[in-house]
Every structure is written in structure tokens, then in C-alpha cells.
């Protein structure tokens, strides 16, 4: 399957939204335990429930044939998956023959060992999740992570020629005093920065309401120091970007709670189990794994159209006293 197959219908949901972006979680495992993302003691999937790398590659090819133009590999932490380089290279070969871009979201702890491989395979930019540069605070948020591993990884990514965007979840009372310093540091490093509101996904053992920080308030604080100018720039995801006065980088904001971004959603997510979730904030899904293992790709293709019919108009994220998680799934299961 070389390009999008003209004999196959492109992926359009029931509301007429063209689906062109697939996020693939290659593992639910991670070497960190970020407080807003995972519980401290996680029960991970047994190996036989997880798609093989070959199965993931076959499904990626099928989606490209149906018109997917961008794929992002996520986790968990995708770089903890054994032989992840094989998958990156396999999908990377599709760039220019149906696929426009292959990207990756990582916590950065293993970039020092994988940055060159990613660049050689055709990855041109990555997102790195980094909520604090303070060693003690980073260890607190990640439940034991070491910031030096990430900083060395960022140096390796830059040396390999990868464009880096830092993803920072804004957490009241945790890192709100670091947002402006992070922005300025990113400006010095040449990294774009995207700020993200915490999302109520899965039971993390903590009350997210305590740490919810509306990005409308954050933007006001930034504007007091740096003028922000809205940009038309898009990378395929939900972030809305701004130019920052005095800096050459872009500031993105992802606001699932204060400003719903669902009207022009172009994304679907595949978990490492082969479940397709049409929305991060809903439980409805279609399971491809059994069909693939019993009937191959011909058995999977009709399920794509079924999944498209399930895509809702919008997520149902709410946060506040007494509000539970929007889904039982942790973010690490679906993929960030």
C-alpha cells in the first residue's frame, strides 16, 4: 500500500470531520509515574494482550491507505518498548508515500540513546513532556524521576537535528511559579512550549481539582510580561499557537476545559491493545486486535467505518468538587 488508496473512502466521521491524524500508543508502560497521569502502583497489561510491533505496522499501513497523513507514537513512554527502533524505521519509510509526518511524544529519559535513530528514521520533531526543571519538584511530580536524564536527552535531540517542543501541564500550587521561567528557558534553548490544562482521566490517587489551573489565567500572567500574538500555525493537534514578544519560539495552549477544541478534531487514537478510541474523553471504542489476529487486515477494515460512526461531537471533561474522572482509563493507556 503506497499512497492513500483512491478505491477506499477517506476517513470522515458522522459530523463531516476529516480524520487524518492517528496517535498510536505502543505501550502502556512508563519509567515515570507522573501524578496527573498514572497511579503510583500501576497494573500493566500482560505481553500477549499488547499488539506486536509487526501488527502495529500493518495497522499503520492500513490507516495510511485510508488517508491518515500524520502518525504520532506515544505511550506510556514509547522509548521503553523493546525494539522500538524497528517500528519507527518501518513507519518512517512511509513518509512521502502516503504519510506526511511521523512524530513522537516522550518523557525524554531515554532520548540520549534514541535521538539519532529517530532522526535517521525520518522523525523531524518530537514533543517532550517536562513539567518542572527543578530537580526536587521534578522528582515529586514524576514520583522519582531524575531531571538530569531529561536534560541530557534534550541535548542529544538537538544534536541529532530534532526540533523539540516542550509540553508542560500547568498545575496550581505545583509548578505555576515555573511557567514564565520555563517559557524564557525555552526561548533561550530554541524549544517551542505548549501549556496543557490537566485532564480528568483515570484514578491517579489524587484530587485533580486541587491542582487545576485554567490557562486563561496563565495567559493573563504571561501577557503582563510578554505580548502574545495569535498565529495561524497548526501542527495537526489541538494546540493553538501564539508568537511571544521578544522570542523566536511559539507558545501553544491546549485547553480541554476552558476552551473546547473539538469542533475541528481530526484525530483518533489506537492503544497498544489495538483499541481505537475516537475521543480521548469517552469510553466508546472499537477493538481491532481480535479481528486482526483472526481475519487479518480484511477483517479490520470494516471496523474503521464503525469507529468513525462512534466519534462524538465533543469530549465530556469536567473538573470540580465531586466530579470523577471522565474515563476509567489512565492517560498512559490511551496515549498522550
CB burial class (10 A; 0-12, 13-18, 19+) of residue 173?
Answer: exposed
| Cis peptide upstream of residue 326 (ω within 30 degrees of 0) | no
The answer to the question of whether 265 is labelled as a binding residue is: yes
The answer to the question of whether 241 is labelled as a binding residue is: no
The answer to the question of whether 199 is labelled as a binding residue is: yes
The answer to the question of whether 76 is labelled as a binding residue is: yes
The answer to the question of whether 186 is labelled as a binding residue is: no
The answer to the question of whether 272 is labelled as a binding residue is: no
Pairwise CA distance, residues 135 & 33, whole Å: 15
Q: Is 243 helix (H, G, I), strand (E, B) or coil?
A: strand
The answer to the question of whether 21 is labelled as a binding residue is: no
Query: What is the separation of C-alpha 220 from the centre of its chain, rounded to a whole number of angstroms?
Result: 26
Pairwise CA distance, residues 292 & 152, whole Å: 40
The answer to the question of whether 267 is labelled as a binding residue is: yes
The answer to the question of whether 30 is labelled as a binding residue is: yes
Pairwise CA distance, residues 155 & 109, whole Å: 12
The answer to the question of whether 89 is labelled as a binding residue is: no
Does an H or E element contain 155, and which?
helix 147-159
The answer to the question of whether 34 is labelled as a binding residue is: yes
CB burial class (10 A; 0-12, 13-18, 19+) of residue 316?
Answer: exposed
The contacts of residue 175 (CB under 8 Å, 6+ apart) are 131, 132, 137, 141, 168, 169
Task: Give me 143's grid cell.
Answer: 514520583
Residue carrying C-alpha cell 522519582: 144
Q: Is 167 helix (H, G, I), strand (E, B) or coil?
A: strand
The answer to the question of whether 168 is labelled as a binding residue is: no
The answer to the question of whether 36 is labelled as a binding residue is: yes
The answer to the question of whether 268 is labelled as a binding residue is: yes
The answer to the question of whether 23 is labelled as a binding residue is: yes
Is the C-alpha dihedral spanning 151, 38, 276, 319 positive or negative?
Answer: negative
Dihedral of the CA atoms 253, 257, 259, 263 (nearest 10)?
Answer: 100
The answer to the question of whether 69 is labelled as a binding residue is: no
Which residue positions form the known binding site for S-adenosyl-L-methionine? Answer: 36, 76, 129, 199
Which residue positions form the known binding site? Answer: 23, 30, 34, 36-37, 72, 76, 105, 129, 165, 199, 262, 265, 267-269, 279
Which residue positions form the known binding site for [4Fe-4S] cluster? Answer: 30, 34, 37, 262, 265, 279
Which residue positions form the known binding site for GTP? Answer: 23, 72, 105, 165, 267-269
Amino acid at each position: 500500500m503506497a499512497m492513500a488508496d483512491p478505491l477506499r473512502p477517506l476517513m470522515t466521521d458522522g459530523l463531516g470531520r476529516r480524520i487524518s491524524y492517528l496517535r498510536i500508543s505502543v505501550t502502556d508502560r512508563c519509567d515515570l509515574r507522573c501524578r496527573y497521569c498514572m497511579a503510583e502502583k500501576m497494573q500493566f497489561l500482560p505481553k500477549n494482550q499488547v499488539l506486536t510491533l509487526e501488527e502495529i505496522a500493518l495497522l499503520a499501513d492500513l490507516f495510511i491507505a485510508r488517508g491518515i497523513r500524520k502518525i504520532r507514537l506515544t505511550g506510556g513512554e514509547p522509548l521503553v518498548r523493546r525494539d522500538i527502533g524497528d517500528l519507527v524505521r518501518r513507519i518512517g519509510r512511509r513518509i512521502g508515500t502516503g504519510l506526511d509526518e511521523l512524530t513522537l511524544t516522550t518523557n525524554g529519559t531515554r532520548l540520549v540513546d534514541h535521538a539519532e535513530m529517530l532522526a535517521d528514521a525520518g522523525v523531524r520533531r518530537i514533543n517532550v513532556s517536562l513539567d518542572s526543571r527543578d530537580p526536587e519538584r521534578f522528582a515529586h511530580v514524576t514520583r522519582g524521576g531524575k531531571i538530569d536524564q531529561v536534560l541530557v536527552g534534550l541535548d542529544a535531540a538537538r544534536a541529532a537535528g530534532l526540533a523539540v517542543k516542550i509540553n508542560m501541564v500547568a498545575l496550581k500550587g505545583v509548578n505555576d511559579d515555573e511557567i514564565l521561567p520555563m517559557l524564557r528557558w525555552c526561548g533561550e534553548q530554541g524549544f517551542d512550549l505548549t501549556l496543557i490544562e490537566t485532564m480528568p482521566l483515570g484514578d491517579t490517587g489524587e484530587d485533580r481539582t486541587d491542582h487545576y489551573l485554567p490557562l486563561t489565567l496563565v495567559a493573563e500572567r504571561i501577557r503582563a510580561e510578554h505580548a502574545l500574538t495569535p498565529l495561524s500555525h497548526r501542527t495537526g493537534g489541538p494546540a493553538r499557537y501564539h508568537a511571544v514578544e521578544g522570542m523566536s519560539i511559539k507558545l501553544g495552549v491546549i485547553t480541554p476545559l476552558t476552551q473546547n477544541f473539538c469542533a475541528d478534531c481530526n484525530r483518533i487514537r489506537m492503544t497498544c491493545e489495538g483499541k481505537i478510541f475516537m475521543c480521548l474523553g469517552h469510553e466508546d471504542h472499537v477493538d481491532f486486535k481480535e479481528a486482526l489476529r483472526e481475519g487479518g487486515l480484511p477483517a479490520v477494515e470494516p471496523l474503521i467505518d464503525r469507529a468513525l460512526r462512534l466519534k462524538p461531537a465533543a469530549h465530556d471533561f469536567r473538573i470540580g468538587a465531586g466530579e470523577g474522572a471522565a474515563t476509567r482509563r489512565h492517560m498512559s493507556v490511551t496515549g498522550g
